[in-house]
């Protein structure tokens, strides 16, 4: 590049429904016949459907010393289901008595409600004794939870004679329930797609004194539809472009979270979190928001800077702020807990002596919150960073942030999709391909800013946006490059592309050069697959692989030397420059991987340095500096040899770049193949 499972137990009938207040409220019209409120009525229909769908439950309804596990569809339905269960279960027992007229009706069951954290200590022992006592007396034990595997005592699950799965109410259930409530059924039945995931609050908030089941059902469906439309209106995973790997992970997580919420997948089988890695502006925070929206769970956000700004910023306030964020996430579970710039926590091996105690306690507290004694069931932790090498190894070990997913700069095709997403219905006939071919290297944030500026230009002139607004915004405050400068950049990037095509044939994605000098200073980009040192999955990182990676990094400089007779500063400068990254690779090979070229003596591990730490490490250890310099020399010699052998190929790729601005991997292959045959 140029640069919560505590359980409570209650007796049947002792739990009041959320809508009791509505039924007991004073009314000017007294009703002589008892009636069920719409929530109670719906719960009765849901329970009745589950009981009649499972013949085993009918048989067990008259049995003593029986354990029945009841799975509710959602915590918000749990209370109403508990209330309906007792009456409907007794009704099933009465029906079963027809077959066994001499059998006595079983005594009232002991009802157990699962919540969010397993009990411990005396509470757990008391609960076990109560269950044991009920079973010894011949009573039944009914245990209700939304996720039995994580909310109920393991002993109860092992003792269970049967499970009753209470499903979400469908359209027919709602029509039947309102018929029970009003004494007459509505004249129509909503589709299941319209009634999906209706909540008790939806039925209560749309209840009116008009006594019209049709109108009530219509209001409820509109209410649910609007809520779903609001959720759909948010940015979702399917709307994200240029981050395929992280989107695929998010879609798998969405499926697993849905199974977990319904109790069909234990938390141990769900990914606990991930580390999202990518340059600034590539959409890491946007991904966090889209992930939460797609999974239909709350998004809890935190950052080291936010925690440090809490209170006085002293250690105690910092740790309290961290814990509050995790407590908030546990209370909202299932949810996504997103922590940006997590590399600010640092690495214990590189803490400065002046603040080592403070930083160590902060990092240790984070490790404890991630997987300490306090469980975080239902909390998916997503960390974001631009500098994964700055993280403490303990953060990314198994069970914590053990899944690292990269977001790279978008390719030309991906950039085109990002432009179209932000433009929406505006500029429908715009030639976006023409726009992006000269602007590969932009991030999603750059595109969003350009489109926002386009709209601002048009708004201030009281007209609709046009193509010139977008082009002006993209070119504003940028320097138009001379042809000589573009040629040098094209040669530089062509050198990278040809080297990658030679050393890692399947890794090349695209190569591009710009026509303007933008804010980022990136004038050319080669997009590749994110393989470390050119090694794919299961391939060892060897000295040879690292030397090839160094050659890739320095091939642009070598191409300039070969085709133009002198080099420029384009390969150096910032910590992300070609020279800096090549030096970092060589330093890591010597200081952390033990790949100094000799296998005959025992290596010394001196840590895995951040790129910013490399100059100090080399200054402090002249021996390492000499070994690093030797590796860089060897890697650069490879690059020079390759550029001499492929000079014609590099020149032809550069010429095509001058015309097309951006070439795909296939176009580079075609050009190289033709040059070799000429």
Nearest Cα neighbor of 335 from 304, 373, 293 is: 293
Cα 619 to Cα 74, 112, 256, 612, 633, distances in angstroms: 61, 67, 50, 13, 18
Calpha distance 348→362 (Å, rounded): 11
3-state helix, strand, coil in the chain (%, to 5): 55, 10, 35
Calpha distance 298→344 (Å, rounded): 24
Structure tokens at 6: 């505590």
Range list of H helices, 120-212: 121-136, 148-151, 154-159, 171-182, 192-195, 200-205
Segments of 238-386 assigned E as strands: 273-277, 299-303, 335-340, 379-385
Nearest Cα neighbor of 472 from 492, 454, 496 is: 454
228: left (phi over 0), alpha (psi -120 to 50) or beta: alpha
Active-site residue, from 176, 414, 493, 646:
493
Calpha distance 480→325 (Å, rounded): 47
Calpha distance 278→521 (Å, rounded): 17
Calpha distance 341→336 (Å, rounded): 16
Q: What per-residue string of b and e applies to 57-69 under the rule 16 or more CB within 10 Å gives b?
A: beebbbeeebbbb
How many CA atoms does the CB half-sphere of 428 hold within 13 Å? 1
Range list of H helices, 31-167: 38-53, 55-60, 75-96, 121-136, 148-151, 154-159
Cα 188 to Cα 49, 180, 197, 216, distances in angstroms: 20, 15, 19, 12
Continuous segment of H or E residues that includes residue 142: strand 141-145
Q: What per-residue string of b and e applies to 278-297 under the rule 16 or more CB within 10 Å gives b?
A: beebbbbbbbbbbbbbbbeb
How many CA atoms does the CB half-sphere of 532 hold within 13 Å? 16
Residue 367: exposed, middle, or buried by beta-carbon count in 10 A (0-12, 13-18, 19+)? middle
473 as an active site residue: the answer is no
Strand 508-513's sheet: what is its strand order?
524-528, 508-513, 662-664
Nearest Cα neighbor of 340 from 296, 284, 384 is: 384
Which residue do the tokens 């602007």 mark?
439
Contact 189, 45 (CB under 8 A): no
Could you give the residue numbers annotated as active site? Answer: 493
């Amino acid at each position: 590049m140029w640069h919560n499972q505590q359980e409570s137990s209650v007796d049947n009938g002792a739990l009041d429904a959320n809508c009791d207040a509505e039924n007991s409220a004073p009314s000017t019209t007294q009703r002589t016949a008892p009636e069920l409120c719409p929530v109670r009525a719906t719960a009765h229909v849901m329970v009745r459907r589950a009981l009649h769908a499972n013949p085993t439950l009918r048989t067990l309804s008259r049995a003593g010393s029986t354990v029945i596990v009841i799975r509710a569809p959602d915590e918000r339905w749990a209370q109403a289901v508990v209330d309906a269960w007792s009456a409907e279960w007794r009704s099933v027992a009465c029906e079963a008595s027809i077959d066994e007229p001499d059998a006595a009706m079983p005594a009232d069951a002991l009802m157990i409600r699962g919540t969010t954290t397993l009990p411990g200590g005396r509470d757990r022992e008391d609960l076990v004794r109560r269950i044991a006592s009920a079973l010894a007396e011949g009573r039944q034990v009914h245990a209700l939870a939304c996720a039995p595997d994580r909310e109920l005592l393991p002993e109860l699950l092992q003792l269970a004679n049967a499970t009753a799965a209470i499903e979400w109410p469908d359209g027919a259930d709602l029509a039947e329930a309102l018929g029970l409530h009003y004494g007459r059924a509505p004249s129509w039945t909503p589709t299941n797609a319209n009634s999906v995931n209706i909540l008790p609050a939806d039925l209560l908030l749309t209840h009116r004194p008009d006594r019209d089941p049709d109108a009530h059902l219509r209001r409820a469906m509109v209410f649910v539809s609007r809520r779903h439309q609001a959720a759909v209106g948010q940015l979702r995973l399917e709307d994200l472009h240029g981050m395929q790997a992280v989107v695929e992970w998010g879609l798998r997580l969405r499926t697993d979270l849905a199974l977990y919420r319904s109790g069909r997948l234990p938390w141990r089988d769900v990914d606990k979190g991930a580390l999202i890695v990518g340059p600034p502006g590539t959409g890491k925070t946007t991904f966090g928001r889209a992930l939460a929206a797609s999974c239909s769970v709350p998004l809890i956000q935190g950052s080291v800077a936010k925690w440090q700004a809490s209170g006085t910023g002293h250690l105690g306030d910092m740790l309290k702020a961290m814990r509050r964020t995790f407590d908030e996430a546990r209370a909202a579970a299932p949810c996504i807990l997103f922590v940006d710039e997590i590399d600010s926590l640092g690495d214990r091996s590189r803490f400065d002596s002046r603040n080592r105690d403070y930083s160590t306690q902060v990092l240790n507290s984070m490790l404890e919150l991630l997987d300490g004694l306090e469980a975080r069931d239902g909390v998916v932790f997503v960390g974001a960073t631009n500098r994964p090498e700055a993280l403490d190894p303990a953060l990314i070990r198994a069970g914590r942030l053990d899944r690292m997913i990269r977001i790279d700069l978008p390719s030309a095709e991906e950039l085109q999709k990002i432009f179209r997403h932000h433009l929406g219905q505006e500029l429908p006939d715009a030639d976006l391909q023409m726009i992006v071919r000269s602007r590969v290297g932009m991030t999603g944030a750059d595109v969003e800013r350009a489109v926002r500026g386009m709209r601002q230009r048009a708004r201030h002139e009281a007209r609709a946006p046009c193509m010139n607004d977008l082009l002006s915004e993209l070119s504003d405050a940028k320097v138009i490059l001379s042809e000589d400068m573009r040629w040098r950049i094209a040669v530089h990037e062509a050198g990278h592309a040809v080297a990658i095509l030679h050393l890692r044939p399947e890794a090349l994605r695209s190569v591009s050069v710009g026509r303007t000098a933008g804010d980022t200073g990136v004038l050319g980009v080669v997009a590749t697959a994110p393989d470390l040192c050119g090694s794919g999955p299961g391939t060892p990182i060897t000295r040879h692989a690292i030397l090839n990676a160094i050659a890739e990094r320095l091939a642009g400089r070598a191409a300039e030397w070969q085709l133009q007779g002198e080099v420029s500063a384009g390969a150096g400068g910032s910590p992300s420059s070609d020279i800096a990254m090549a030096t970092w690779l060589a330093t890591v090979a010597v200081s952390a991987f033990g790949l100094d070229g000799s296998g005959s003596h025992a290596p010394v591990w001196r840590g895995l340095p951040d790129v910013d730490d490399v100059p100090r490490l080399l200054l402090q250890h002249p021996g390492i500096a000499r070994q690093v310099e030797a590796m860089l020399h060897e890697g650069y010699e490879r690059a020079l040899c390759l550029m001499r052998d492929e000079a014609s190929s590099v020149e032809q790729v550069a010429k095509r770049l001058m015309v097309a601005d951006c070439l795909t991997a296939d176009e580079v292959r075609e050009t190289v193949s033709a040059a070799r045959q000429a």
